[in-house]
Amino acid sequence: MKHRIVILGAGYAGAYVAGTLARRLSPADAEITVVNADPDFVQRLRLHQLAAGHKIEAPQLTDVFAGTGIRLRLARVTAVDSEREIVAVADSDGGGELGYDTLVYALGSHGDRTGVPGAAEHAFDVAARPSALRLRDRLDGLGEGRSAVVVGDGLTGIETATEIAETRPGLSVTLVARAELGARLSAGARSHLRQACDRLGVTVVEHTEVEAVEATRVRCADGTVLAADATVWTAGFAVSPVAAAGGLEVTESGRIVVDRTMRSVSHPNVYAVGDSAYAVGDNGRPLPMSCASAGYTGMQATAAIVGRLTGRKIANTKLEYLGNHISLGRRDGILQMVDDEGRAKPTYAGGRKAARVKAGILRMSLWTTSHPTFALPRRKRRLAAAPDASAETAVAQPSGLRLG
């Protein structure tokens, strides 16, 4: 019987893992199935552009995985039974169950609009394709002089506010920052960001907490009221509760606690990658939710799975976070590198060059995802007679980690 590998999620991390495993493992021994609710590959890094009104490529997953030997199941994951090694899914035919020998959990994250009254009912987010399209429809219905308020000055908030302002100059765009705008950037990058907002006409409201979101306005804790014909919530992200409900060891936020090889510390035949994984980087700090982190966790997980299943030594790939690539509309950007402590380095790159680098990263990410088994080797590795599916059941937890 073939070893069943089930990968939950076909985002950047899940699609990479599926393609790499298909390249490296013999189909005579391994069966790879990808479960994804959306029929298309979603370029999450460009959803703020989709919301602003740009056309974004969305390759069909049936085309992406055609000829790779990877099975695609279009369905929504409803539960993971980690004891029975079963995944429950729901689809138009009623759903069913999938058994696994190795599970790769790559369900990612979604926008969290639960923390402030009215946000879930009245705000939009750009963390998923359907929500980004709803925001675009809303913006399409707004005429000259109407207002859009973006809450949250993280990377997603900055990119969303500047993209909307550049694409829809007739709108009044406000960006609400909890602290100083771009607080985690270097002084030069902060100055560049502020100049970009001024150039694009983005009004920045700093050191402000949002208290409530209403249909046509945003109320702040200091009494400020901002008119908002469209409110965009980028102030937080959350992961699916499926992992916690399935008995996997997770953090208080629901991210799966993994060891250095992305293996669940509680269930040795489960791996987590991308935003779903609570992984500690080479600098001793948890990797942030980001596309860059997803790439590193995906590489490490595939190396570990291939090594264990084929009886080879497991290579430790890099687990690092080097910096941020921020787009400020289509013709401007910021490249901000960070040190080993996660602090911004004094120097940065900005302007058109930075924008071109960011655009190049997006094109490369799309191409590699659309060609998951590129450079397919002629010889694939056979599985060992007795793959290591149960050893190394746990590693020491990071100090100070509070588990839920």
pLDDT in tens, 182-233: 999 999 999 999 999 999 999 999 999 999 999 999 999 999 999 999 999 9
Give the mean pLDDT of 46-52.
Answer: 97
In this prediction, residue 219 carries a pLDDT of 97
Q: Is 274 helix (H, G, I), strand (E, B) or coil?
A: helix
According to DSSP, the β-strands at 225-227 and 217-220 are antiparallel
Report the pLDDT value the prediction gives residue 293, as an integer from 0 to 100. Answer: 83
pLDDT > 90: percent of the chain: 80
What is the model's pLDDT at position 400? 36
Closest CA to 262 of 322, 302, 211: 302
84 band by pLDDT with thresholds 50, 70 and 90 = very high
CA–CA distance, 254 with 370 (Å, rounded to integer): 30
Residue type, 371: H
Residue 299 has pLDDT above 50, yes or no: yes
Q: Return d(Cα 263, Cα 392) in angstroms, integer.
A: 9
d(CA 283, CA 115): 31
pLDDT at 401: 38
How far is 350 from 185, CA to CA, in rounded Å?
Answer: 12
Residues 347-351: contacts with CB within 8 Å, 24+ apart?
A: 347/186, 347/188, 348/185, 348/186, 348/188, 348/189, 348/192, 350/188, 350/189, 350/192, 351/192
- Report residue 232: phi and psi, to 5°: -110, 125
Residue type, 33: T
Structure tokens, 224:
């400020």
pTM over 0.75: yes
For residue 386, pLDDT over 70 is answered with no
* Residue 240 pLDDT > 60: yes
Residues forming beta bridges with residue 80, ordered by sequence position: 87
Q: Stretch 61-82: mean pLDDT, rounded?
A: 95
Strands 237-239, 109-111: pairing kind: antiparallel
Residue 243 confidence class, pLDDT cut points 50, 70, 90: very high
- C-alpha 302/C-alpha 281 separation (Å) is 17
